[in-house]
Protein backbone atom coordinates (compact mmCIF):
# COMPACT_ATOMS: atom_id res chain seq x y z
CA UNK A 1 0.00 0.00 0.00
CA UNK A 2 1.36 3.41 -0.97
CA UNK A 3 1.87 5.95 1.79
CA UNK A 4 -0.05 9.19 1.71
CA UNK A 5 1.78 12.32 0.69
CA UNK A 6 2.51 14.47 3.75
CA UNK A 7 1.94 18.16 3.09
CA UNK A 8 2.75 21.03 5.42
CA UNK A 9 0.64 24.11 4.70
CA UNK A 10 2.18 27.36 5.89
CA UNK A 11 -0.58 29.93 6.22
CA UNK A 12 -1.13 32.58 8.90
CA UNK A 13 -4.86 33.04 8.32
CA UNK A 14 -6.86 30.14 9.76
CA UNK A 15 -9.85 30.54 7.39
CA UNK A 16 -7.58 30.62 4.36
CA UNK A 17 -5.65 27.60 5.68
CA UNK A 18 -8.90 25.63 6.01
CA UNK A 19 -9.85 26.59 2.44
CA UNK A 20 -6.49 25.25 1.25
CA UNK A 21 -6.98 22.02 3.21
CA UNK A 22 -10.44 21.59 1.67
CA UNK A 23 -8.99 22.08 -1.81
CA UNK A 24 -6.22 19.58 -1.15
CA UNK A 25 -8.66 17.01 0.23
CA UNK A 26 -10.76 17.35 -2.94
CA UNK A 27 -7.62 16.82 -5.03
CA UNK A 28 -6.37 13.70 -3.24
CA UNK A 29 -5.81 11.75 -0.06
CA UNK A 30 -3.07 13.67 1.74
CA UNK A 31 -1.82 13.87 5.30
CA UNK A 32 -2.01 17.63 5.91
CA UNK A 33 -0.52 19.73 8.71
CA UNK A 34 -1.10 23.45 9.11
CA UNK A 35 1.67 25.74 10.32
CA UNK A 36 0.15 29.10 11.23
CA UNK A 37 3.29 30.88 12.38
CA UNK A 38 6.65 30.98 10.61
CA UNK A 39 8.56 31.43 13.87
CA UNK A 40 10.83 28.43 14.31
CA UNK A 41 9.80 27.12 10.90
CA UNK A 42 12.94 25.02 10.45
CA UNK A 43 12.36 23.19 13.73
CA UNK A 44 8.65 22.70 13.06
CA UNK A 45 9.15 21.37 9.55
CA UNK A 46 11.92 19.13 10.85
CA UNK A 47 9.47 17.63 13.34
CA UNK A 48 6.68 17.26 10.75
CA UNK A 49 9.04 15.97 8.04
CA UNK A 50 6.59 16.65 5.20
CA UNK A 51 7.03 15.36 1.67
CA UNK A 52 6.00 18.76 0.32
CA UNK A 53 5.65 22.27 1.73
CA UNK A 54 2.89 24.57 0.49
CA UNK A 55 3.32 28.23 1.42
CA UNK A 56 0.47 30.70 0.93
CA UNK A 57 1.37 34.35 1.51
CA UNK A 58 -0.25 37.59 0.55
CA UNK A 59 3.09 39.32 0.31
CA UNK A 60 6.30 37.40 1.08
CA UNK A 61 9.23 39.11 2.72
CA UNK A 62 12.93 38.34 2.88
CA UNK A 63 12.75 37.12 6.50
CA UNK A 64 10.09 34.57 5.59
CA UNK A 65 12.12 33.39 2.61
CA UNK A 66 15.23 33.04 4.78
CA UNK A 67 13.25 30.98 7.32
CA UNK A 68 11.98 28.86 4.44
CA UNK A 69 15.50 28.38 3.07
CA UNK A 70 16.69 27.22 6.48
CA UNK A 71 13.63 25.04 6.95
CA UNK A 72 13.61 23.32 3.61
CA UNK A 73 16.71 23.41 1.50
CA UNK A 74 16.25 22.77 -2.20
CA UNK A 75 17.63 19.26 -1.75
CA UNK A 76 15.20 18.16 0.96
CA UNK A 77 11.70 18.50 -0.40
CA UNK A 78 9.61 20.34 -2.98
CA UNK A 79 8.17 23.69 -1.97
CA UNK A 80 5.22 25.38 -3.69
CA UNK A 81 4.67 29.04 -2.87
CA UNK A 82 1.51 30.95 -3.68
CA UNK A 83 1.69 34.73 -3.36
CA UNK A 84 -0.81 37.48 -4.09
CA UNK A 85 1.84 39.96 -5.23
CA UNK A 86 5.56 39.95 -5.81
CA UNK A 87 8.49 41.72 -7.42
CA UNK A 88 11.63 40.59 -9.24
CA UNK A 89 13.78 40.65 -6.09
CA UNK A 90 11.37 38.44 -4.12
CA UNK A 91 10.89 36.07 -7.03
CA UNK A 92 14.66 35.60 -7.28
CA UNK A 93 14.95 35.20 -3.48
CA UNK A 94 12.18 32.57 -3.51
CA UNK A 95 13.94 30.55 -6.20
CA UNK A 96 17.23 30.80 -4.29
CA UNK A 97 15.42 29.66 -1.14
CA UNK A 98 14.52 26.42 -2.93
CA UNK A 99 10.96 27.09 -4.02
CA UNK A 100 10.03 24.57 -6.72
CA UNK A 101 6.86 26.36 -7.85
CA UNK A 102 6.26 30.09 -7.38
CA UNK A 103 2.71 31.10 -8.30
CA UNK A 104 1.64 34.73 -8.31
CA UNK A 105 -2.04 35.67 -7.95
CA UNK A 106 -2.70 33.51 -4.92
CA UNK A 107 -3.98 30.02 -4.41
CA UNK A 108 -7.26 28.83 -5.82
CA UNK A 109 -8.68 25.43 -5.04
CA UNK A 110 -8.73 24.23 -8.64
CA UNK A 111 -5.05 25.09 -9.16
CA UNK A 112 -3.65 23.34 -6.10
CA UNK A 113 -3.24 19.82 -7.53
CA UNK A 114 -1.60 20.79 -10.86
CA UNK A 115 0.79 23.18 -9.11
CA UNK A 116 1.73 20.58 -6.49
CA UNK A 117 2.32 18.01 -9.22
CA UNK A 118 4.51 20.51 -11.10
CA UNK A 119 6.47 21.36 -7.93
CA UNK A 120 7.11 17.67 -7.25
CA UNK A 121 8.13 16.99 -10.86
CA UNK A 122 10.46 20.00 -10.91
CA UNK A 123 11.98 18.98 -7.58
CA UNK A 124 12.67 15.45 -8.85
CA UNK A 125 14.10 16.80 -12.11
CA UNK A 126 16.54 19.03 -10.22
CA UNK A 127 17.38 16.21 -7.79
CA UNK A 128 18.30 14.03 -10.78
CA UNK A 129 20.43 16.83 -12.24
CA UNK A 130 22.19 17.29 -8.87
CA UNK A 131 22.91 13.55 -8.67
CA UNK A 132 24.25 13.52 -12.23
CA UNK A 133 26.43 16.54 -11.48
CA UNK A 134 27.85 14.86 -8.36
CA UNK A 135 28.51 11.65 -10.32
CA UNK A 136 30.28 13.68 -13.01
CA UNK A 137 32.38 15.52 -10.42
CA UNK A 138 33.30 12.22 -8.77
CA UNK A 139 34.23 10.66 -12.12
CA UNK A 140 36.37 13.69 -13.00
CA UNK A 141 38.19 13.55 -9.66
CA UNK A 142 38.74 9.79 -10.07
CA UNK A 143 40.07 10.37 -13.59
CA UNK A 144 42.54 12.95 -12.25
CA UNK A 145 43.79 10.52 -9.58
CA UNK A 146 44.06 7.68 -12.10
CA UNK A 147 46.04 9.91 -14.49
CA UNK A 148 48.36 10.94 -11.67
CA UNK A 149 48.86 7.30 -10.62
CA UNK A 150 49.60 6.32 -14.24
CA UNK A 151 52.24 9.05 -14.33
CA UNK A 152 53.82 7.71 -11.15
CA UNK A 153 53.95 4.16 -12.57
CA UNK A 154 55.23 5.34 -15.94
CA UNK A 155 58.08 7.22 -14.28
CA UNK A 156 58.92 4.57 -11.64
CA UNK A 157 58.73 1.49 -13.87
CA UNK A 158 59.33 2.92 -17.34
CA UNK A 159 55.90 1.82 -18.56
CA UNK A 160 53.74 3.24 -21.32
CA UNK A 161 50.44 4.87 -20.37
CA UNK A 162 48.50 1.77 -21.52
CA UNK A 163 50.79 -0.55 -19.56
CA UNK A 164 50.48 1.58 -16.41
CA UNK A 165 46.70 1.55 -16.64
CA UNK A 166 46.70 -2.19 -17.35
CA UNK A 167 48.82 -2.82 -14.24
CA UNK A 168 46.48 -0.74 -12.08
CA UNK A 169 43.44 -2.50 -13.56
CA UNK A 170 44.93 -5.95 -12.94
CA UNK A 171 45.81 -4.96 -9.35
CA UNK A 172 42.28 -3.68 -8.79
CA UNK A 173 40.77 -6.90 -10.15
CA UNK A 174 43.11 -9.07 -8.08
CA UNK A 175 42.19 -7.14 -4.92
CA UNK A 176 38.48 -6.78 -5.71
CA UNK A 177 38.74 -2.99 -5.67
CA UNK A 178 37.99 -0.15 -8.06
CA UNK A 179 40.80 1.19 -10.24
CA UNK A 180 40.19 4.62 -8.72
CA UNK A 181 40.75 3.20 -5.21
CA UNK A 182 44.00 1.52 -6.24
CA UNK A 183 45.12 4.76 -7.91
CA UNK A 184 44.23 6.81 -4.81
CA UNK A 185 46.25 4.46 -2.60
CA UNK A 186 49.18 4.68 -4.99
CA UNK A 187 49.07 8.49 -5.07
CA UNK A 188 48.82 8.66 -1.26
CA UNK A 189 51.80 6.36 -0.89
CA UNK A 190 53.83 8.36 -3.42
CA UNK A 191 52.98 11.56 -1.54
CA UNK A 192 54.23 10.00 1.70
CA UNK A 193 57.50 8.97 0.10
CA UNK A 194 58.35 12.48 -1.14
For 133-169, write each residue's pLDDT tens digit. Answer: 999 999 999 999 999 999 999 999 999 999 999 999 9
Least confident among 67-76, 113-122, 133-142:
67-76
Phi, psi at 106, each rounded to 5°: 70, 180
108 and 27 in contact (C-beta within 8 Å)?
A: no
Give the residue, 144 or 193, on which the prediction is more confident. 144
Tell if the pTM clears 0.85, that is, is over it. Answer: no
Q: Report the chain's mean pLDDT, rounded to a whole number.
A: 83
State the span(s) of the chain assigned CATH 1.10.10.10.
134-193
Tell me what percent of the residues of the chain surpass a pLDDT of 70: 87
State the span(s) of the chain assigned CATH 3.40.50.2300.
5-107
d(CA 133, CA 135): 5
Predicted confidence at residue 1, as pLDDT, reads 46
Long-range contacts (CB closer than 8 Å, 24 or more residues apart) made by 22-25: 22/109, 23/107, 23/108, 23/109, 23/110, 23/112, 24/54, 24/112, 24/113, 24/116
Predicted confidence at residue 170, as pLDDT, reads 95
Q: Are strands 79-83 and 30-35 parallel, antiparallel or unpaired?
A: unpaired
3-class SS at 69? Answer: helix
Report CA torsion sign: 96, 99, 102, 107.
negative
Phi, psi at 73, each rounded to 5°: -65, 160
The CATH class for the domain spanning 134-193 reads: mainly alpha
Confidence of residue 71 (pLDDT cuts 50, 70, 90): low
d(CA 184, CA 194): 16
5-107 folds as: Rossmann fold (3.40.50)
Amino acid sequence: MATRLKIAVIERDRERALMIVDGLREAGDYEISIVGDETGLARRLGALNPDLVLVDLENPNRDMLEELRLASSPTERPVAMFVDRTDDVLTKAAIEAGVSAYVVDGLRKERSKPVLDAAIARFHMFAKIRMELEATKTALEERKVIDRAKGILMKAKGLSEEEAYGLMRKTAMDQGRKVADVAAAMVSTADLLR
